[in-house]
């Protein structure tokens, strides 16, 4: 069973908490302006919501860095992350969606479905640990593995690695990566790297792919030795 966080929060509150959680993961200060930009809202309305969430014990102010989630706020945010990623996994595994189409659908459904339905989906999928993009799924109690994957750009030349996560929700980029077989669980190897932050030649699925460093940094791997 999931950890209770009180009555079901409103969609707006859920969006705020999830946004602040993702900003913290990216190492960005959760300032009013950053939250407003992420949610496409006016800063004054964001300031008002921050005060309300602070009064509810979901946020705490951090000098010079905006706000951070309290333990209660983090539990609520992780429940939303779990809902979103379980839905994505279910849409791909059971309903035939492709990984480039599920993010927007999950954004809509995550606020509408019940906790009971999420747990039925998770059970039907065998309680997956990762969503279709390789993002870890928190368990029902809110715990999530703290995984440190290596970007392809940091792999030594010739070392084999397993692609575990593709760090983008951009549909066009996801379609491109799928078209060149750069998807989670694929074995990859850097064959060549041009100097001065130049492009990389990556081997995957028996093919060579030339990727610029900006795209290659989105590909996160677990290392498992040389070929």
pTM of the model: 0.88
**Nearest one of 2, 178, 16, 39 to 102, comparing CA atoms:** 178
**Nearest one of 136, 153, 132 to 144, comparing CA atoms:** 136
- Which CATH number does the domain housing residue 136 bear? 1.10.10.10
Structure-block tokens of residue 78: 């992780």
pLDDT value at residue 4: 43
Query: How high does pLDDT run on average in the chain?
Result: 92
Instruction: Return the minimum-mean-pLDDT range out of 93-107, 142-156, 179-193.
Output: 142-156
pLDDT for 3 beyond 50: no
pLDDT (average), residues 139-153: 88
Where is the domain boundary, 102, 123, 144?
A: 144
190-227 as b/e: b if 16+ CB within 10 A: beebeeeeebbebbbeeeebebeeebbebbbbeeeeee
Contact 179, 152 (CB under 8 A): no
Does one domain contain both 36 and 138?
yes
pLDDT value at residue 100: 97
Does one domain contain both 116 and 203?
no
Instruction: Give the H or E element holding residue 24.
Output: helix 11-25
Does one domain contain both 35 and 109?
yes
Does one domain contain both 159 and 89?
no
Boundaries of domain holding 105: 1-144
Residues 215-227: tens digit of each pLDDT: 999 999 998 654 4
Does one domain contain both 88 and 133?
yes
pLDDT value at residue 27: 81
Does one domain contain both 77 and 186?
no
Where is the domain boundary, 103, 122, 144?
A: 144
Q: Quote the number of domains for the chain.
A: 2
Residues 32-78: tens digit of each pLDDT: 999 999 999 999 999 999 999 999 999 999 887 899 999 999 999 99
Residues 157-167: tens digit of each pLDDT: 999 999 999 99
Contact 63, 29 (CB under 8 A): no
**Nearest one of 24, 146, 5, 138 to 71, comparing CA atoms:** 5
Alpha-carbon distance of 10 to 21, in angstroms, equals 17
Does one domain contain both 32 and 98?
yes
Q: Which residue has the higher pLDDT, 35 or 206?
A: 35
Ramachandran angles phi, psi of 50, nearest 5°: -60, -40
Does one domain contain both 50 and 99?
yes
pLDDT for 172 beyond 80: yes
Residues 73-114: tens digit of each pLDDT: 999 999 999 999 999 999 999 999 999 999 999 999 999 999
Alpha-carbon distance of 214 to 199, in angstroms, equals 9
Does one domain contain both 25 and 101?
yes
- Which CATH number does the domain housing residue 183 bear? 2.30.30.90
Establish how many alpha carbons lie within 13 A of residue 35's alpha carbon, considering only the half-sphere containing its beta carbon: 27
């Amino acid at each position: 069973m999931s950890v209770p966080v009180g009555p079901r929060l409103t969609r707006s509150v859920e969006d705020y908490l999830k946004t602040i959680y993702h900003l913290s993961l990216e190492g960005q200060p959760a300032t009013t302006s950053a939250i407003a930009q992420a949610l496409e809202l006016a800063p004054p309305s964001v300031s008002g919501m921050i005060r309300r969430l602070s009064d509810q014990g979901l946020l705490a102010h951090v000098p010079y860095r905006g706000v951070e989630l309290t333990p209660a706020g983090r539990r609520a945010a992780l429940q939303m992350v779990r809902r979103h990623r379980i839905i994505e996994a279910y849409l791909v595994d059971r309903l035939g969606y492709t990984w480039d189409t599920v993010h927007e659908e999950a954004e809509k459904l995550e606020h509408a479905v019940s906790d009971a339905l999420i747990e039925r989906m998770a059970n039907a999928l065998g309680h997956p640990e990762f969503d279709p993009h390789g993002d870890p799924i928190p368990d029902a109690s809110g715990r999530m593995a703290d995984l440190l994957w290596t970007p392809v750009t940091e792999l030594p030349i010739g070392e084999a690695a397993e692609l575990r996560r593709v760090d983008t929700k951009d549909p066009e980029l996801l379609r491109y990566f799928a078209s060149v077989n750069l998807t989670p669980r694929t074995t990859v190897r850097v064959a060549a790297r041009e100097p001065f932050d130049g492009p990389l030649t990556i081997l995957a699925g028996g093919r060579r792919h030339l990727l610029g460093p900006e795209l290659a940094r989105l590909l996160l791997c677990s290392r498992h030795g040389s070929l």
